[in-house]
Amino acid sequence: MSCLMVGALLLATSAAPAADYPTRPIKLIVPYPAGGPTDMLGRLIADYLARDLKQPVVVENRPGASSIIGADAVAKSPPDGYTLLTISNALTANETLYPNRPYALMRDFVPVAALNYSDLVMVVHPSVPVRNLTEFIALAKSKPGALNYASSGTGTPYHMAAELFKAMTGTDMVHVPHKASGDARNAVIGGHIEMLFDAITTMAPNVLAGQVRALGTSGTTRSKVLPDVPTIAEAAVPGFEATIWLGLAAPAGTPQPIIDKLNAAVNRTIMRPEIIAAWERQGATPMAMSPAEFDAFLRRDIAKWAQAAKYAGAVAQ
């Protein structure tokens, strides 16, 4: 057999998985409880992917251990494109915070596609006697360890943003992790805990309804959803920046043609005009990337949060 024929045969063999894929339902694992931002976005993407790929995409919530349980389940799944994982910067932070987790992100997964990112908003219950960020910092410094902040778990973007804020302001507050973002949100809205960093996409309606007081947003520019709220950097903490991003990953060893087919389908979805418009109203921005670009993004994010954890002295609880 000539070299030319061998090359053609190899090319045909490598293209076959993508040509036939998918032939049955795809499972999308969300490593968080139902009802949170990651779950809602996962269900939206699943719906559009099902239409694009002509097969059902079934969302399964596998929460627990700061997303490690769900991630480990996907890492151990067959690398055939039929089990995917929604990921966020919680998983890149976990690379530092949980050294004994049963998987390694860049070893046991292959990046499929980025979805979107959004800024966070720092909020307090209206009973907290502050009107702005400067007053909050002064209050926290006057009562070391007396103020509490909520999160949806150790290593989540909300936890890491608050730890970075503590480190950059020299304040001491107590972390109160919850099992789900909705629980953390309700704890602050109900006045049981003083402060929370939350996704603008989720918390903005509560801010606008007066249920919480927004002190600052976490991006480099003001949010179009909350334009009257200054960024934390401009208000009192120069250089502060933290976001939440979401994406999809598959078990390592998934054929590249399948990864490429999924990536193209995701990018078609997130660049649809109605998706862009809906996310803009919520304060989210699409992140269209190739698998290679998303791989590089993840590696940078792992390094970023490793440095932030060291800077903040954050540890798993």
Mean pLDDT to the nearest integer, 94-118: 94
Token pair 């590249």 is found at 256
Domains of the chain, by residue range, sit at 24-115+244-312, 119-235
Mean pLDDT to the nearest integer, 56-68: 93
pLDDT at 180: 82
Quickly state the pLDDT bin for 39 (edges 50, 70, 90): confident
**Portion of the chain with pLDDT greater than 90, in percent:** 73
pLDDT at 309: 78
- Encoded amino acid at 244, one letter: I
Look at 76-85, 137-146, 264-273, 280-289 and tell me which has the smallest mean pLDDT. 280-289
Q: How far apart are CA 244 and CA 287, in angstroms?
A: 12
Quickly state the pLDDT bin for 308 (edges 50, 70, 90): confident
- Output the CA torsion 56→64→94→269 (10° steps): 20
pLDDT at 10: 47
Residue 221 DSSP symbol? S
pLDDT at 315: 56
**Portion of the chain with pLDDT greater than 70, in percent:** 92
Token pair for 160: 């890491």
Domain covering 24-115+244-312: architecture: 3-Layer(aba) Sandwich (3.40)
pLDDT at 33: 85
Number of neighbours of residue 25 by Cβ within 10 angstroms: 12
Q: Which residues pair with 92 in a beta bridge?
A: none
Q: Which residues pair with 174 in a beta bridge?
A: 148
User: What class does CATH assign to 119-235?
Assistant: alpha beta
- Average pLDDT over the chain, rounded to whole? 90
Token pair for 13: 């063999």
Kind and range of the H or E run holding 30: strand 26-30
Residue whose C-alpha is closest to residue 85's, from 99, 75, 100, 96:
75
Quickly state the pLDDT bin for 22 (edges 50, 70, 90): very high
Token pair for 5: 């024929």
pLDDT at 144: 95
pLDDT at 15: 46
pLDDT at 250: 98
- 181-215 confidence digits (pLDDT tens): 889 999 999 999 999 999 998 899 999 999 999 99
